[in-house]
Amino acid sequence: MAALATQSASRQVPIQSSRITVPEIALRLNVGRLTVYEMLEQRIIPAIRLGRRWIITRHAYDQWERTCGVTTDAGLVVQPEVTVLN
What is the domain range of residue 19? 15-68
DSSP of 4-63 = EEESSSS-EEEPPPSB--HHHHHHHHT--HHHHHHHHHTT-S--EEETTEEE-BHHHHHH
In a domain? residue 77: no
Question: Is the pLDDT confidence value at 23 over 90?
Answer: yes
pTM: 0.64
Report which of 24, 30, 26 is spatially closest to residue 2, judged by C-alpha positions.
24
The domain tally of the chain equals: 1
Question: Is the pLDDT confidence value at 33 over 80?
Answer: yes
Report the CATH number that the domain containing residue 26 is assigned in CATH.
Answer: 1.10.10
In a domain? residue 85: no
Average of pLDDT values for 50-64? 94
DSSP 8-state secondary structure symbol assigned to residue 64:
H
H/E segment holding residue 86: none
In a domain? residue 80: no
In a domain? residue 6: no
In a domain? residue 82: no
In a domain? residue 35: yes
